[in-house]
């Protein structure tokens, strides 16, 4: 059974979704990428994360093709750039994203990272979009604990439904204070780059990870991905442009690592013992 994550409004979504960064950039991969996203939906990975930034809208256009006639099956997340975070700009950016995605609503709309616009102004725009039904809920991305505290003190800031941040075996800094903060507020974290972009030799060549992959009869990537969602508080959005990878990632959502095995991973990839400034990609 795929682990589920509860959003603050009670909506439950699977702990593994699908990222789309770089999708749509290479015409020769387009067919496979669309097939991969569709396979993911079939496998229950129905949270799809995209952004206006990705390929300057190309990823959103590709997602449109992948979800055609399947909009209702998908939990669609997109992001507004900080350069579009002023009130009217958010409303216009959202319209453009909806157009590219071929839908009239987003399930979640995130501020991609903090810029110069006061948080209160962006939040007011998000609330307006919610009011008119163009988004169901909103959240933020790349916010450290002090940013979240600030957001909590802004009018309607507590309506934030998630914070999308970097999290994988080689980037565990958020365990020190950001994850506990989110647990206390019951706002789930969305982990980006959960596979450390797929090419981190530190993970791929690690003896303990390789031993666990053998023991559970899965791939090294599946161990790394399963690890990100063990707490039940984190939703992970690996990007996979190949259907075979998507199927593996869906299986990782069912994998439960034993306490002893989690301890082995802690030894290889130690959790933080003091504050680590939020890492970003």
Ligand X SMILES: NC(=O)c1ccc[n+]([C@@H]2O[C@H](COP(=O)([O-])OP(=O)(O)OC[C@H]3O[C@@H](n4cnc5c(N)ncnc54)[C@H](OP(=O)(O)O)[C@@H]3O)[C@@H](O)[C@H]2O)c1
Q: Are the C-beta atoms of residues 45 and 17 closer than 8 Å to each other? A: yes
- Residues with Cβ within 8 Å of 226's Cβ and at least 6 positions away in sequence, in order, are 218, 252, 253, 255, 256, 257
The alpha carbon of 170 is separated from its chain's Cα centroid by a whole number of angstroms, namely 17
* Residues 220-258: b if buried by 16+ CB within 10 A, e if exposed: bbbbbbbbbbbeebbbbbbbbbebebbbbbbbbbebebe
| No. of helices (H) and no. of strands (E), the chain | 11, 9
Q: Catalytic: 54?
A: yes
The least CB distance from residue 77 to ligand X, in Å, is 8
Closest to ligand X by CB, 133 vs 277, is 277
- Residues with Cβ within 8 Å of 177's Cβ and at least 6 positions away in sequence, in order, are 145, 275
Closest to ligand X by CB, 155 vs 205, is 205
Helices in the chain by DSSP H: which ranges? Answer: 30-42, 58-66, 87-101, 119-131, 145-152, 178-185, 201-204, 207-216, 220-228, 243-252, 259-268
Closest to ligand X by CB, 148 vs 240, is 240
Q: Are the C-beta atoms of residues 52 and 78 closer than 8 Å to each other? A: yes
The least CB distance from residue 121 to ligand X, in Å, is 20
The least CB distance from residue 165 to ligand X, in Å, is 7
CA 264-269-275 angle, to 5 degrees, is: 130
CA 195/CA 177 separation, integer angstroms: 22
Closest to ligand X by CB, 129 vs 196, is 196
The least CB distance from residue 131 to ligand X, in Å, is 25
Strand partners, 16: 236
The least CB distance from residue 93 to ligand X, in Å, is 15
245 marked as binding residue: no
Closest to ligand X by CB, 248 vs 261, is 248
Q: Point out which residues bind ligand X (CB under 6 A).
A: 19-21, 49, 112, 141-142, 164, 192-198, 219, 221, 237-242, 245, 248-249, 281
Binding-site residue positions for substrate:
112
- Known catalytic residues are 54
Binding-site residue positions:
112
């Amino acid at each position: 059974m795929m682990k589920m994550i509860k959003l603050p409004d009670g909506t439950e979504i699977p702990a593994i979704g699908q990222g789309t960064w770089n999708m749509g950039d290479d015409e020769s991969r387009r067919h496979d990428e669309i097939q991969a996203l569709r396979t993911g939906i079939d496998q229950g990975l129905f949270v799809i994360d995209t952004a206006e930034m990705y390929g300057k809208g190309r990823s959103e256009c590709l997602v449109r093709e992948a979800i055609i006639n399947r909009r209702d099956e998908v939990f669609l997340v997109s992001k507004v750039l900080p350069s579009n975070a002023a009130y009217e700009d958010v409303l216009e950016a959202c319209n453009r994203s909806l157009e590219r995605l071929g839908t009239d609503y987003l399930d979640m709309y995130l501020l991609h990272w903090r810029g110069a616009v006061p948080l209160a102004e962006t939040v007011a725009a998000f609330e307006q979009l919610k009011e008119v039904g163009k988004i169901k809920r909103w959240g933020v991305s790349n916010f450290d604990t002090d940013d979240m505290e600030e957001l909590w003190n802004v009018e309607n800031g507590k309506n934030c439904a998630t914070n999308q941040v970097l999290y994988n075996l080689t980037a565990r800094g958020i365990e020190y204070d950001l994850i506990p903060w989110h647990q206390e507020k019951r706002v789930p974290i969305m982990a980006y780059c959960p596979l450390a972009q797929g090419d981190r030799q530190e993970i791929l060549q690690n003896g303990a990870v390789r031993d666990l992959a053998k023991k559970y009869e899965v791939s090294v990537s599946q161990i790394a991905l399963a690890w990100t969602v063990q707490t039940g508080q984190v939703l992970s959005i690996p990007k996979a442009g190949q259907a075979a990878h998507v199927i593996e990632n869906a299986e990782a959502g069912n994998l439960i690592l034993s306490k002893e095995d989690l301890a082995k991973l802690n030894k290889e990839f130690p959790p933080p013992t003091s504050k680590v400034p939020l890492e970003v990609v």
